[in-house]
Amino acid sequence: MQVDPKIDFAFKCLFGSEQRKHLLIALLKAVLRIEIADVTILNPYNEKESAEDKLSILDVKAKLSDGTFINIEMQVTVSLGYAERSLYYWSSLYVDQLGEGSEYSELARTVAIHIIDDVLFPEVPAYHMEFGICSLSDPAIRLTDRFALHTIELPKMNLPAGSLSSELDGWCYFLRHAEEMDLEGLPKLPAELAIRQAMEALRVMFQTERERDLYRGRLKQTRDALWIQNASRKQGLDAGRVEGQISTLHKDIARVLAARFGQASSIVAERIASLSDVVRLDLLVDDALKVPSLEEFEKLL
């Protein structure tokens, strides 16, 4: 079975497993351009948990030996509230470090890495961007080095194998083309040894019927989410009015909840109907696809 590493479930298996920690180190070195001797995976892949909570966010949380916290996500598309969502999940990892009686100065550097099979910034040709908190009048001055967010837009990295120059180029090429590549015909790439090991891992991944079912289920959910999001955007654009977008998003949320949990209560329906912020509604469509229960969704309203 050909496995697409851009599906977050496969990505988590590949880079979030203890036995393949060396692949995570190789990827992080390519993105951050630093030497990394070791890394601790804070939420390693667990088949049982993945089976029971199929719609959770399958990110990879890790900690470097210098104390830096890392969060890596693989996303197939970008929602309207991408920036707000990114800050929310980054801040969650940052704030969760602070225990009772701890000092703010003890908060460690926290880095988010978002690998996206979509285009965020069409006006910028670079596929890899790093964001920090800097002075607008003098960008060389940073408020703090504790915040960093990397975006990697895969569609922009469209060079042929022979033109790749950096290890990150090689990893992006792998993520884009792994489904159609084979070990025997693997082109010469930067970071070739680690990528060859990743290819071998993909080849033997999901050998049992149970594992294959988990992957296929996540693949279907990913495609369904992409279809709903694209349909929502198109319908809102065709309507040409914010009211049309709001109505479409209300219906999408209701349809996803009904498909997953059955008819929502009148209280939940009324709360959804009362919302008119397009960005928040778009985020709630994603949440409706991911939460484990209707009760958990209700907490988000």
Q: Hey, what are 185's tokens?
A: 């015909």
Distance CA 293, CA 301 (A): 14
Contacting residues for 156 by C-beta, under 8 A, at least 6 apart: 119, 125, 126, 127
So where are the chain's domains? Answer: 8-205, 210-299
Give me the residues paired with residue 40 across strands: 63
Residue-wise pLDDT for 104-142, tens only, equals: 999 999 999 999 999 999 899 999 999 999 999 999 999
Q: Give this prediction's pTM.
A: 0.74
SS3 of residue 110 by DSSP: strand
Residue-wise pLDDT for 176-228, tens only, equals: 999 888 888 888 899 999 999 999 998 888 777 777 787 887 777 777 666 66
SS3 of residue 250 by DSSP: helix
Rg, Å, the chain Cα set: 20
CB 27, CB 226: distance < 8 Å? no
